[in-house]
Amino acid sequence: MFCGSNYGLGPVFREQATLLGKTLAEKEIELIYGGAHVGLMGAVADGALKANGRVVGVLPRFLEVKELAHPGLTELVLVDTMHERKAIMNDRCDAVITLPGGFGTMDELFEMLTWAQLGLHKKPIGVLNIDGYYDTLNLMTENMLSKGFIQAVNKDSLLICSEINTLLEMMNNYQAPETATLITESEI
């Protein structure tokens, strides 16, 4: 799970993050996320924990020092760097869901998309499009496709939906491409 350390403006972001955590717990899906108690990260963890879900946080030590670690997690994995955090989260997860967030969330999402494009994983990558937050990302990927910087299979690997259960169903039915899908100069 990748998401913001802020709640965003308006209650809908926090409400949907909490509901997503609860839904994952009810479906017995373990939540692996950034380990903080603040913002949407805290909301999704709280939603899962209140529904008796298993929640694993992966937190860099420098953030633990700032007292951002969620105190009620099933497991807290402390790491030295942000890069190590992303690698461990990737190693331990079967799928990725991204909620609204800032630069860090975008970094995490795009790294997972890049790794999928390179054939380094075949995990579904879902985006919960709360309150139209990711509408412009959808437009951006359309532009990337129309300008020849990604292939249709790359755009299709990004599963964007505004409804939790539908997104989870899309992710459950996802079939990854068999090979990496880079466009090379020889293809142009």
Amino acid in position 68: L
Q: What is the pLDDT of residues 138-167, one digit of tens each?
A: 999 999 999 999 999 989 999 999 999 999
pLDDT value of position 146: 96
pTM confidence score:
0.90
Amino acid in position 179: T
pLDDT value of position 135: 97
* Three-point CA angle 50, 41, 31, nearest 5°: 60
Q: What is the pLDDT of residues 67-123, one digit of tens each?
A: 788 999 999 999 999 999 999 999 999 999 999 999 999 999 999 999 999 989 999
pLDDT value of position 35: 94
Lowest average pLDDT, out of 72-81, 126-135, 177-186, goes to 177-186
For residue 97, list its beta bridge partners.
Answer: 126
pLDDT value of position 144: 95
Backbone angles phi and psi of 33, in degrees to 5:
-150, -175
Alpha carbons 162 and 160: distance in angstroms, whole number: 7
- Both tokens of 95, joined, read 């799928």
Q: What is the pLDDT of residues 14-29, one digit of tens each?
A: 999 999 999 999 999 9
Q: Are 37 and 57 in contact, with CB atoms under 8 Å apart?
A: no
Region 41-64: mean pLDDT is 95
Place of tokens 């709280």: 46
pLDDT value of position 186: 47
- Both tokens of 29, joined, read 């899906």
pLDDT at 188 exceeding the cut of 60: no
pLDDT value of position 71: 92
DSSP notation for 108-124: HHHHHHHHHHTTS----
Maximum pairwise Cα distance, the chain: 53
Alpha carbons 136 and 132: distance in angstroms, whole number: 8
pLDDT at 66 exceeding the cut of 90: no
pLDDT value of position 178: 79
List, in order of start, the domains of the chain with CATH numbers: 12-187 (3.40.50.450)
More confident call, 185 vs 47:
47
The H helix count followed by the E strand count for the chain is 8, 6
